[in-house]
Amino acid sequence: MKHILTLTLSPTIDKSTSVEKIVAEHKLECNEPKFEPGGGGINVSRALKRLGLQSTAVFTSGGLSGKLLQELLEHEDIAQHPIETYHPTRENFIVVNRASNEQFRFGMPAPALIAGEEDKILKEVKQMAAKASYIVASGSIPKGVSADFLAKIARIAHQEDARLVVDTSGEALEQAIEEGIYLLKPNQSELRKLTGMEVDDNESLEEAARIIVNKGKCGIVVVSMGPQGAYAITKDQAEFVSAPSVKKRSTVGAGDSMVAGMVYGCVNNYDLGHIVRMGIACGSAATMNHGTELFKTADVDRLYEWLTK
């Protein structure tokens, strides 16, 4: 059986805590911080592990924070392939104001890659892709990465007969689409930028997504609509799936959890409707937990059962 690779160019250590009340100019007493590995593809790998699927997290890693990131992944028993970089791995900071249940997320900029590092990443991904059935490229693209980087990843995927799943934005995504992607997960804003169309309702959203699909560039486009649900479009099908109503505590990792759920559905040969429902179940379940906890498998099972009734 072939394997799943996840690729993260902007990994992070997510440090989260809470305070009773956030007040400017005051010394705030925080709860003991929690440290968790983060970043698009890394979170997809963590979520897949909870669903019972093994993957290998390929990511950049630099400095002492990069070593800590590797230790955190090892603690979660996530197979990993760190690629050493010059700049230290970033750290993000999340604080919950308990008085109002508001969450404040401080995202640090991803460190830029320096000369030669991009080529090293491509070389190592190419070597590992020979054993991959899926390559999941998720998360932001840091400075120093060429605009055609994801297009090169797409070519590698095609050469090795691997299915490429992409969840990112910007020019790198546009060029990757021209090479062909198996599954693309934009939100409405990203779809608007990709097509230049207004996507304010389901009809216009489907029309915009179908433009991408009909070019033969993407097999499946799943447009994330946040708490409303998602719209899935292929050449022959279109289906809107509403999200369940849940008590939202944090949105950290919800999109990555949704990607993991859809990859799980693809690997297990689900039809389009069930692929999207599994993705929504995972994404919604992730919002039910505090901080960067991702989802509980029991919540996913319950929500998926509700969505498939």
User: For the chain, what are the domain ranges?
Assistant: 3-21+29-307
In this structure, the strands spanning 238-242 and 229-233 are antiparallel
* Cβ–Cβ under 8 Å, residues 4 and 56: yes
| Domain at 3-21+29-307: CATH code | 3.40.1190.20
From CA 256, how far away is CA 241, in angstroms rounded? Answer: 18
Edge-to-edge, what's the strand order for the sheet holding 102-106? Answer: 34-38, 12-19, 90-97, 102-106
Phi-psi label, residue 134: left if phi above 0, alpha if psi -120 to 50, beta otherwise: beta
- Confidence (pLDDT) at 252: 78
Using the Cα atoms of residue 56, residue 59, residue 64 and residue 65 in order, give the sign of their dihedral: negative
Q: Quick one: tokens of 172?
A: 């790198």
Which letter does DSSP use for residue 10 in this model? S
Determine the pLDDT at residue 247: 84
CA–CA distance, 16 with 217 (Å, rounded to integer):
39
pLDDT, residue 158, reads: 95
Phi, psi of 123 (to 5 degrees): -65, -45
| Residue 256 a catalytic site member | yes
Segments of the chain scoring below 70 in pLDDT: 1, 291
Instruction: Check residue 136 and give its pLDDT.
Output: 98
Q: How far apart are CA 21 and CA 256, in angstroms?
A: 29
Inter-CA distances, 157 with 20, 137, 180, Å: 48, 11, 10
State the pTM of this model: 0.93
The single residue listed with the structure tokens 């949704």 is 258
pLDDT at 172: 86
DSSP 186-245: -BHHHHHHHH-----SHHHHHHHHHHHHHTTSEEEEEEE-GGGEEEEE-SS-EEEEEPPP
Distance between CA atoms of residues 291 and 251, nearest Å: 8
State the catalytic residue, choosing from 14, 167, 256, 299: 256
Tokens of 119: 């080529």
Contact 179, 164 (CB under 8 A): no
How confident is the model at residue 28, as a pLDDT?
A: 92
pLDDT of res. 290: 73
